[in-house]
């Protein structure tokens, strides 16, 4: 979210950034609302000042026994008091208009982000090689269903489309993946584990920019709380409306949670399998840091997400997203795309974003630099570390055998209770 003063000082930067995202200029609209708001505030302040001055003049008039003057001043004060609520209501309305206008604007892409839509995404590097099979590899849902351990039909009876029931060794494999990811980030990458709320208030969703623009993609309860679409929401908001001492930064937080997404805009996309679900498990990484540290923190978070995939010996590539393909709150994003031989395509398994101070302004999250009495907004970063369901998909497709069984990766062996190969359920 942008500071109105910054928009007044840099309207061209805002419009240029929006254009890079393929959006129309917005500075003129924002500045018009801001000018109206400032005019109302000035009028209200002038009335308050006149009311205070008139109140003092009433005392002086009474001291001089000038009752006509005192009476006229009291009538003036009464008129002012009657006018002020109207202006206060007007200010509240224009404040809301400005908040809505600013709240609907996405973050500005960083200078080194390539311009364009998804076709302009730039490959940064690859790791490993594609698996070689002496048979035609199957997509994950065929592997899982053949094993008798992945059940979409029963899930549909229970909940509807875009749900799955995992059983036996596949359910254990999902749990093992999550535990392996968490242990790696805790023990090797310096993250602190958090068990956060799964239901949050609207203000919390606004802070990380899921609201208001993406309300239709979320699930809301009858009590008005929202189910989190990612633990990023809860973790990032741990510093909302607070001032953190610089010595406490960077804060690196991780959580493994269920995530819930309505997928309102995904009609017809990935309708088979586990790729796009209403409910899924994800290990999330969040960092809160200073502006000076955020670029290095972004690279470190990417390395952390890559590390778990390297341990699983999965082939993947990293791409820098183009300006028109980034998420709403991001100023720069790296996507990790894992190779799925059954699908014959690379698919996103992690997205690692630097949001700069965009979310911090929406949350009023600040820090106090050492030796400085002034506070500054923190920078926030988030990334999948990684999506557990999609990692399960990648393992099923890359570790499948010709007989339909699936070999358990060495990195997961300590979590699988001696199961080295997943075979069809009896």
Strand-pair category, 122-127 with 316-320: antiparallel
What are the Cα distances from residue 53, in Å, to 49, 50, 58, 80, 83? 6, 5, 9, 12, 16
CA-closest candidate to residue 330, choices 109, 101, 103, 6: 109
Bridge partners for 258 per DSSP = 281
> Is residue 348 flagged as an active site residue?
yes
CA-closest candidate to residue 367, choices 285, 287, 290, 293: 290
CA angle 382, 384, 390 (to 5 degrees): 160
Question: Which one from 220, 276, 317, 376 is the annotated catalytic residue?
Answer: 276
Q: Are the beta carbons of 391 and 177 closer than 8 angstroms? A: yes
- CB burial of residue 275 (10 Å; 0-12, 13-18, 19+): buried
What are the Cα distances from residue 414, in Å, to 238, 408, 410? 33, 10, 8
State how far the Cα of 265 lies from the Cα of 217, in Å rounded to an integer: 7
State how far the Cα of 253 lies from the Cα of 232, in Å rounded to an integer: 9
Q: What is the DSSP annotation of 257-278?
A: EEEE---TT-TTSS-SSSSS-S
Question: Which one from 351, 361, 366, 384 is the annotated catalytic residue?
Answer: 351
> Is residue 220 flagged as an active site residue?
no
> Is residue 390 flagged as an active site residue?
yes
CA 340 to chain centre: 26
Question: Which one from 36, 343, 348, 401 is the annotated catalytic residue?
Answer: 348
| Two tokens, residue 241 | 């409306």
Beta carbons within 10 angstroms of residue 179's beta carbon: 16
CA-closest candidate to residue 51, choices 27, 84, 25: 84
> Is residue 261 flagged as an active site residue?
yes
CA-closest candidate to residue 107, choices 387, 369, 380, 349: 380
Structural Rg of the chain based on CA atoms? 28
* Catalytic residue ranges: 261, 276, 348, 351, 390
């Amino acid at each position: 979210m942008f500071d109105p003063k910054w928009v007044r000082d840099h309207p061209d930067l805002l419009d240029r950034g929006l254009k890079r995202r393929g959006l129309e200029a917005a500075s003129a609209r924002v500045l018009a609302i801001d000018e109206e708001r400032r005019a109302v505030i000035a009028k209200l302040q002038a009335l308050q000042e006149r009311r205070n001055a008139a109140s003092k003049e009433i005392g002086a008039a009474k001291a001089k026994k000038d009752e006509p003057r005192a009476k006229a001043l009291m009538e003036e004060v009464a008129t002012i008091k009657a006018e002020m609520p109207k202006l206060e209501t007007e200010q509240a309305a224009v404040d809301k208009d400005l908040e809505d206008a600013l709240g609907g604007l996405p973050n500005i892409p960083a200078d080194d982000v390539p311009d364009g839509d998804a076709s302009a995404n730039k490959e940064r590097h690859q790791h490993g090689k594609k698996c070689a099979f002496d048979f035609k590899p199957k997509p994950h849902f065929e592997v899982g269903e053949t094993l008798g351990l992945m059940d979409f039909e029963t899930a549909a009876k229970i909940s509807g489309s875009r749900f799955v029931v995992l059983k036996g060794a596949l359910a254990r494999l999902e749990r093992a993946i999550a535990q392996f990811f968490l242990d790696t980030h805790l023990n090797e990458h310096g993250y602190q584990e958090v068990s956060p709320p799964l239901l949050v208030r609207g203000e919390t969703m606004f802070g990380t920019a899921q609201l208001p623009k993406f309300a239709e993609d979320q699930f809301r309860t009858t009590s008005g709380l929202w189910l989190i679409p990612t633990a990023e929401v809860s973790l990032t908001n741990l510093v909302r409306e607070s001032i953190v001492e610089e010595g406490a930064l960077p804060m690196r937080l991780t959580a493994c949670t269920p995530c819930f997404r309505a997928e309102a805009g995904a009609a017809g996309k990935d309708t088979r399998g586990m790729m796009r679900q209403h409910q899924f498990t994800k290990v999330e990484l969040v960092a809160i840091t200073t502006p000076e540290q955020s670029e290095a923190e972004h690279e470190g978070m990417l390395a952390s997400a890559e590390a778990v995939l390297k341990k699983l010996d999965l082939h993947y590539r990293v791409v820098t997203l183009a300006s028109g393909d980034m998420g709403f709150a991001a100023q720069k994003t790296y996507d990790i795309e894992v190779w799925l031989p059954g699908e014959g395509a690379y698919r996103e398994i992690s997205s690692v974003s630097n949001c700069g101070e965009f979310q911090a302004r929406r949350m009023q999250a600040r820090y106090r630099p050492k030796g400085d009495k002034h506070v500054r907004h923190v920078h926030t970063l988030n990334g999948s570390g990684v999506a557990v369901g999609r990692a399960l998909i990648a393992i099923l497709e890359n570790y499948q055998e010709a007989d339909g069984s699936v070999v358990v990766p060495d990195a997961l062996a300590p979590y699988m209770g001696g199961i080295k190969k997943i075979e069809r359920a009896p």
